[in-house]
Structure 1
Amino acid sequence: MFSFCSDPDTLGTIRWFACYLTNGVHWLFYASFLKVLFILAVTAPVALGFGFAGAMAARSHIPPLSWLGKGYIAIVRGVPDIAFFMFFVIALDQGFEWIRHKVLCTDWDQPIRQGNDFIVCQAAKLPLSTSPEWVHETYGFALAIITFSIVFGAFAANVLFGGMRAVPHAQLETAAAYGMSRRQTFWRILVPQMWVYALPGLSNLWMILIKATPLLFLLGVEDIVYWARELGGTKTSKFTQYPHGDWRMWYFLFLLIFYLGMTRMSEIGLEKLMRRLSHGQATSGGELLRKETTA
């Protein structure tokens, strides 16, 4: 980045670190932080959508739909996260390729499953071998987002289902007595009030989601954990110009500070949101706010 970085062997300590921390590979490390923030920004609302759909299905009066919602919650919550992460990435990838194979390769006369191998025609592969590198990275990143959303959506569904059940039944009966339909009662009475009961659980889920982002490394995404290991290690090809000792401890210490800062900012934001949702509610939090207002 600097003009004096052409020959690192001639640099003093300060200039050496200035060149070391501003070279192209390090900028990839800095960009990976934006990648983590992006996956949080995308995964959280998508997982919440999965969770809301799962909770609605679980409380449905149609038995097959209720079984589907409760089964989704129970299965995903009952299996270790890492197992689902590894499973869904492979399953989604093969599922997409299988669909493309059926559409694009109608003249294919060989079985797709050949022993332990999954073989599709060249045109059905995702991404194509001729695609640029950014397409391969984007595709892997998209699979990771879908996987995170499916897994954390099940936990969100369980929290929202509990929040719906926590709304006082007398209020639903009152809405029905005023002539509201079941749909009107759900959207006007149940949904607005369930958030105050569900937010503590959703807050914990958000914290867990933040701490789960290092799993991107295991899914093949070059995230902050990947670059911390690569840049901090001694046996790496990333820094032939800037040899150094084993600095992984310092890189991972920086990640620790980053995650602590993220969780602290989240706690502040969620506390403000909780106070806003509790305002006017018949809960202990709402009663506390009323006392503060009248004091």
Structure 2
Amino acid sequence: MLSHCSDPSALDDTAWLACYLTSGKHMMFYESFLTVLALLAITAPVSLAFGFGGALASRSRFVPLALLGRLYTSIVRGVPDIVFFLFFVIALDQGIEWLRHQALCPDWSAPIRQGSDFLVCPAAKMPLSTAPQWMHESYNFALAVVTFAIVFGAFAANVLYGAMNAVPKAQLETAHAYGMNDRQTFRRVLLPQMWGYALPGLGNLWMILIKATPLLFLLGVRDIVYWARELGGSKTAIYAYPHGDWRLWYFLFLLVFYLVLTRVSESVLTRISRRLAHGQATAAGERLRRAS
């Protein structure tokens, strides 16, 4: 906060607005944009890893593993995202605390389930009640990352599974004819070829992931939606900076942020798509060949 902001009531309009926008809560509002970007940066590769594992499991010749991969994609894709988010965060949190309870409090005699309450010993709480605030926020953020990764990993698995099946069978048969085994064929032929088919679907998933980040607000993370609602609501004279209902302007700012992020993403995805399509026997590759 600026040095002259100690008495906001004595400031003129311009100085008041400058002090208001540099207050402590606004700094946390600005930091929450980094939280959203960090979620995207971490969740995208983790979701891709989940999706790759799910796609490989679905293609497996081992029937139980193939059924497990298809069950994973079917269940997650068939449940509304918000329902799965709220369920899985609670289930994962209670599962972690139950395991800690079994390990740290073996002599605990009271039942864990008491009606609708889930009660574990104080040492098993995750994080501990005495932990600093940043640990609570980091824990909630980690739960959110895992939940997002599992949900979007199921969609990515479906995209990658279709992309693997889209690679012409003749190329795989030719690789086998040249003496490559299944592992070599997958690594040298199937894996490089499939990305051109998978990128459009993965690009759409990335856009959906961007639009899903406001769900952090429902998962206990103080994200940009939380702070926009908190700061934009009416503030009476008991606050240092009283104002009316400014939520329209705060959410308009979020609208611009998401539009800019989406536009930058579209530009990057277009460049990646052109690079992957170069020299490939696909419709996009044919367009590039004719254009050159």
**Conservation of the 8 A alpha-carbon contact between 2:235 and 2:242:** no
SS at 2:240 equivalent: coil
Q: 2:25 and 2:112 mapped to 1: Cα distance? A: 40
Segment of structure 1 superposing worse, 265-274 or 99-108: 99-108
User: Deviation string for 1:28-76 (max 9, x for gaps)?
Assistant: 0000001100000000000000000000001111110000000000110
Q: 2:236 and 2:81 mapped to 1: Cα distance? A: 30
Unaligned residue ranges in structure 1 (runs of 5+): none
**Conservation of the 8 A alpha-carbon contact between 1:49 and 1:153:** yes
Name the residue aligned to 1:83. 83
How far 1:101 sits from its partner (Å)?
Answer: 1.2
Equivalences for 1:134-153 in 2 at 5 Å? 134-153=134-153
Name the residue aligned to 1:41. 41
- Which letter maps to 2:43? T
Name the residue aligned to 2:253. 254
Identity of aligned residues (%): 70
- Which letter maps to 1:280? G
Q: 2:110 and 2:9 mapped to 1: Cα distance? A: 59
Q: 1:217 and 1:141 mapped to 2: Cα distance? A: 11
**Conservation of the 8 A alpha-carbon contact between 1:232 and 1:246:** yes
Name the residue aligned to 2:275. 276
SS at 1:259 equivalent: helix
Q: 1:147 and 1:235 mapped to 2: Cα distance? A: 35
SS at 2:67 equivalent: helix
How far 1:110 sits from its partner (Å)?
Answer: 3.2
1:166 paired to 2:147 = no
**Conservation of the 8 A alpha-carbon contact between 2:159 and 2:198:** yes
Q: 1:77 and 1:61 mapped to 2: Cα distance? A: 23
| Pairs aligned (count) | 292
Call closer, same or farther: CA 1:251–1:130 in 2, change over 3 Å.
Answer: same
**Conservation of the 8 A alpha-carbon contact between 2:236 and 2:242:** no
Name the residue aligned to 1:102. 102
Name the residue aligned to 2:232. 232
How far 1:109 sits from its partner (Å)?
Answer: 2.8
**Conservation of the 8 A alpha-carbon contact between 2:172 and 2:189:** yes
Q: 2:159 and 2:65 mapped to 1: Cα distance? A: 18
How far 1:187 sits from its partner (Å)?
Answer: 1.4
**Conservation of the 8 A alpha-carbon contact between 2:235 and 2:243:** no
**Conservation of the 8 A alpha-carbon contact between 1:230 and 1:236:** no
Segment of structure 1 superposing worse, 40-49 or 96-105: 96-105
Name the residue aligned to 2:8. 8
**What's the Cα RMSD here?**
1.3
1:265 paired to 2:257 = no
Give me the TM-score of the superposition, normalised by structure 2: 0.97
Q: 1:61 and 1:121 mapped to 2: Cα distance? A: 45
Q: 2:114 and 2:224 mapped to 1: Cα distance? A: 38
**Conservation of the 8 A alpha-carbon contact between 2:77 and 2:154:** yes
- Which letter maps to 2:232? G
Unaligned residue ranges in structure 2 (runs of 5+): none
- Which letter maps to 2:260? G
SS at 2:243 equivalent: coil
SS at 1:128 equivalent: coil
**Conservation of the 8 A alpha-carbon contact between 1:89 and 1:219:** yes
Name the residue aligned to 1:119. 119
SS at 2:111 equivalent: coil
Name the residue aligned to 2:130. 130
SS at 1:266 equivalent: helix
Runs of 4+ aligned structure 1 residues displaced above 6 Å come to none
**Conservation of the 8 A alpha-carbon contact between 2:236 and 2:243:** no
- Which letter maps to 1:268? S
**Conservation of the 8 A alpha-carbon contact between 1:43 and 1:148:** yes
